Amino acid sequence: MSKNILILPGDGIGQEIVAEAVKVLDCLQKDFGLKVELEEALVGGTAYDDSGSPLPESTLKLAKQADSLLLGAVGGYKWESLDIAVRPEKGLLGLRAGLELFANLRPAILYPQLAEASTLKPEVVSGLNIMIVRELTGGIYFGQPRGVRTLDNGEKEGYNTLVYRESEIERIAKVAFDIAGKRDSRVCSVDKANVLECTELWRDVVNRVGEAHKEIELSHMYVDNAAMQLVRAPKQFDVMVTTNMFGDILSDCAAMLTGSIGMLPSASLDAKSKGMYEPIHGSAPDIAGQDVANPLATILSVAMMLRYSLDEAALAERIEQAVNSVLDQGLRTQDIFSEGMKKVGTADMGDAVVAAMRQQ
Ligand code: NAD
């Protein structure tokens, strides 16, 4: 039976990189028997311009009906001065919350061909393969109360609330233990239990879930130390599991270990493995419309979609091998370019991946 994929290009380079990922999906449909129906909708700043909302009802409805979603990115200079309630990023947060996508999987893998692209020494990062599991629908990004209030003396005060229920911690911990079971069987839970009561509870619940997964080695680390260890000796980690905000920060840090934010896909899953797949980077307004953005993170997001939501592991592998092949051929977008390589634009990189998929 055909599966429905909702395509959400979003803003900035989102339009360009998603177009390349769609070429890959078209190729899988035409040549490799993938049965999917693609539908497209607006989200983020372009949706706001169209309808006054970064997440129109019609988009949310299609998102709920779809089997999977492929998102480019949202945001840009143009919308920065909007009220926070209608900023493009609200569209993304609304999708995550509306679809209950509580588990964000962010692999940080260093492609050997790009070892030189990392700012860290090759021996520190070569062979790096970390999976960061970030809680995505709770914590301080969603906690109430929140806002900016004026105190009696006229001074303004901003406030947010960090809140986690046991059930929220338990379900994300289970995802992390399950993934570790398919990898190197190690989970490091990251918190700030020495200062924040909420993450003291986080640690207790993760320990409790760990009791049922004795085959997995569980460790705990404070977030400040985890940030330090990620740049000091990142290969010590297998799976890291953490809160929404800590995961936001640590996963970008882990991404940079690999040399380029333009190479890394991500998945956000609900309890039934329905997912929204997107590159980890943003809409890069500084390079939008110039045909220089790296489309590989988005193309690799399609591979994650095939593996985690569509049960098409062989097709996922075909994409991943094609990406390896174009890197072997020396093709590089600007962000991963180094001396002696061949610089290509966004569309040429997409075409090269499609050609490599057909050549296998
Ligand atoms: P960004 O990830 O968009 O860009 C950071 C830097 O990385 C920029 O120099 C950019 O040119 C570069 N870059 C990013 N993706 C690239 C790619 N595929 N190829 C080559 N270079 C790439 O982060 P930012 O500049 O902090 O944010 C820009 C906008 O994106 C903001 O409005 C922000 O809110 C939004 N944003 C959206 C998401 C999302 O949609 N998931 C995530 C992060 C930021």
Query: Is the minimum distance from the CB of 262 to ligand 1 under 6 angstroms?
Result: yes
Output the CA angle 149-150-153, nearest 5 degrees: 150
Task: Kindly indicate whether the domain formed by 1-102+270-360 is annotated with CATH number 3.40.718.10.
Answer: yes
* Count of residues making up the chain: 360
Dist. CA 94–CA 267, nearest whole Å: 16
Between the alpha carbon of residue 295 and those of residues 30, 247, 289, the distances in Å are 21, 23, 13
Torsion of Cα atoms, 348 then 349 then 354 then 359, to 10°: 100
The response to whether residue 234 sits with its C-beta less than 6 Å from ligand 1 reads: no
Residue type, 16: E
| Residue given tokens 């609900």 in the structure block | 270
Question: Which pLDDT value is given to residue 240?
Answer: 98
Task: Read off the pLDDT of each residue in 127-147 and give the average, rounded to a whole number.
Answer: 94
Structure tokens at 184: 């190197």
pTM of the full structure: 0.87
Rounded Cα–Cα distance for residues 130 and 153 (Å) = 49
Q: What is the mean pLDDT of the chain?
A: 95
Residue 78 alpha carbon to ligand 1 centre in Å: 14
- Contacts for 316 with CB less than 8 Å, ≥ 6 apart: 303, 304, 306, 307
Q: Are 146 and 162 in contact (CB under 8 A)?
A: no
Which residue ranges make up each domain of the chain?
Answer: 1-102+270-360, 108-259
CA distance 323 to 318: 9
Question: What pairs with residue 191 in β-bridges?
Answer: 222
CATH topology of domain 108-259: Isopropylmalate Dehydrogenase (3.40.718)
Identify the pLDDT of residue 134. Answer: 96
Question: What is the band of 328 on the pLDDT scale with cuts at 50, 70, 90?
Answer: very high
C-alpha 280 – ligand 1 centre gap (Å): 8
**Which residue matches tokens 């009696």?**
152
Question: Per-residue pLDDT tens for 197-216?
Answer: 999 999 999 999 999 999 99
- Domains 1-102+270-360 and 108-259 equal at CATH topology level: yes
Residue 259 scores a pLDDT above 80? no
